[in-house]
A = this chain, B = another copy of it.
Amino acid sequence: MSAQNALYAQSGGVTATINASACGVIETARRHRGKIGRVYAARNGILGALAEDLIDTSAESTTAIRALMHTPGGAFGSCRFDLSPMPQGRSQYERLIQVFRAHNIGHFFYNGGNGSAETAHLIATELPRLGWPVTAIAIPKTIDNDIVHSDCSPGFGSVAKFVATSMREAMADLASMSHSSTKVFVMEVMGRYTGWIAAACGLAQPADKDGPLLLLVPEIHFDRRRFLAAVRLRIARYGWCAVAVAEGLKLRNGRRLTQAGGDGIPGHEQLGGVAPLIAAMVRDSLKVKVHWSALDYVQRAARHLASKTDVAQAYAVGRAAVGYALQGRSDVMPVIERISDRPYRWRVTPAPLAGIMNREKRLPRRFLTADGWRLTAHARGYFTPLIRGEAWPPFADGLPVHASLKLRRVRPKLKSTFRENP
């Protein structure tokens, strides 16, 4: 009997390094051809598995697979869709068994965050129960850095490096404009529930006693009066003030600022960004010129400035996932364990999915100073190794070159179709 095939899929919001994990999976599987057959990729995450829309990665050259290391986005398509637990999910599992049987799939790798870990867990537990033995492994990926039991999440180091760099550069710009023009700059970063990315912006400023940069995270309720006083103080002291704000910043009543219509500023309706709200608040209250930016996809796709540490970890969790499958381990996630800060040492270890899925790691309060505005030394010790090292992609004619894949579809074998409305 020939070796069973593997199915790899990407899920949730993509990152600058999720494709490095894909590369880790595919390259490692290719090194064990006797034990793992072909690696298929589901198009658009689990939806492609349900739809029998599979890509045969064995049609891709060694060079093309290697190029995934420097390609942002999700090369095989992602999705915002999770499987349902039993009994509602029964038809989904039965469909997956049809597809897995038709294509002799014995290993499933799901590259995603907290929600995707549950989908991997359900496949690991329900498919064998319903008659199709499979090893299912969740590969961690999220810019949000909120996966429990993992010291950090692949994808986070690169976004942290990009936002901290951008803030440092924008602060240099602001400092030179502040004398006769702009006095405040507000930069909005991702982070709907957690402040990991906003906090990483704090690295832009040296570890001094104080400084012109303020951090606003969802874990600390926003107090308009305190904030404006802090901005005013910094303008007086430094001539200018920079602000890094997480998109999910909350008021004391638990509502997001962007839901609250601008904290009661009349005429300032929300258009999807917290930065313009904060900017308007500062401008109207302190009567100074304010600039703001909202980075959105640009931050999480910024592969041109990826962290070398992050790229290495993203690859390592992909490789480890295949190693676990070869050992017959299932229902686990390869997570990053930090062994030491200086020198920074880490390793990949397996963690059971049941303890990870649908949980969320918040930014610890001790990462920020008592006033909440700046990073502590502890936080710097945590963040710095994660953004260290550059991993420049190749450039041609001034622009980064990304992988060019054939994405050859596997001929469908099933007559029936299954349509899951996403």
Residues of B within 8 A of A166 (CB): 298, 301-302
Instruction: Evaluate whether A181 and B72 lie within 8 angstroms (CB atoms) in the complex, with A10-B176, A271-B268, A272-B276 already known.
Output: no
Check if A279 is an interface residue, CB within 8 A of chain B: yes
A398 and B292: CB pair below 8 A? no
Stoichiometry (number of copies): 2
- Selected from B71, B181, B297, the residue in CB contact (under 8 A) with A185 is B297
B298 and A295: CB pair below 8 A? yes
Check if A303 is an interface residue, CB within 8 A of chain B: yes
A293 and B295: CB pair below 8 A? yes
Residues of B within 8 A of A305 (CB): 304-305
Encode A152-188 as 1/0 by CB contact (under 8 A) with B: 0000000001001110111111111101110001010
Residues of B within 8 A of A279 (CB): 271-272
CB proximity to B under 8 Å, residues A364-396? 384, 386-390, 392, 395
* Nearest B residue (CB) for A272: B276
B173 and A14: CB pair below 8 A? yes
Shortest distance between the CB of A120 and any CB in chain B (Å)? 18
- Give Cα distance in the complex from A279 to B296, angstroms: 13
Check if A397 is an interface residue, CB within 8 A of chain B: yes
Which stretch from A74-82, A123-131, A209-217, A327-335 is at the chain B interface? A74-82
Check if A83 is an interface residue, CB within 8 A of chain B: no
- Give Cα distance in the complex from A76 to B76, angstroms: 48
- Give Cα distance in the complex from A75 to B175, angstroms: 9
Check if A119 is an interface residue, CB within 8 A of chain B: no
Residues of B within 8 A of A55 (CB): none
* Nearest B residue (CB) for A276: B271
CB proximity to B under 8 Å, residues A382-422? 384, 386-390, 392, 395, 397-400, 402, 422
Most buried by B among A45, A169, A277, A303: A169
- Selected from B13, B80, B272, the residue in CB contact (under 8 A) with A292 is B272
Residues of B within 8 A of A273 (CB): 271, 273, 276, 292, 294
Check if A320 is an interface residue, CB within 8 A of chain B: no
B79 and A180: CB pair below 8 A? yes
Check if A313 is an interface residue, CB within 8 A of chain B: no
Most buried by B among A71, A180, A280: A180
Check if A291 is an interface residue, CB within 8 A of chain B: yes
- Give Cα distance in the complex from A319 to B206, angstroms: 33
Check if A311 is an interface residue, CB within 8 A of chain B: no
Check if A194 is an interface residue, CB within 8 A of chain B: no
A/B interface sample: 21 pairs, CB < 8 A: A14-B177, A72-B169, A73-B172, A73-B174, A74-B176, A74-B177, A75-B176, A80-B181, A165-B304, A166-B302, A169-B400, A170-B297, A173-B300, A179-B422, A185-B296, A203-B398, A204-B399, A271-B277, A272-B279, A275-B294, A305-B305
Q: Beyond the given A73-B174, A293-B295, could you list 14 further A-B residue pairs with CB under 8 A, ordered by the A residue number?
A: A47-B179, A72-B173, A73-B171, A73-B176, A74-B176, A75-B176, A81-B180, A169-B298, A187-B298, A204-B399, A271-B276, A271-B277, A273-B292, A386-B398
Q: State the 5 A-B residue pairs at the shortest beta-carbon distance, nearest first.
A: A73-B172, A74-B176, A387-B398, A271-B276, A180-B422
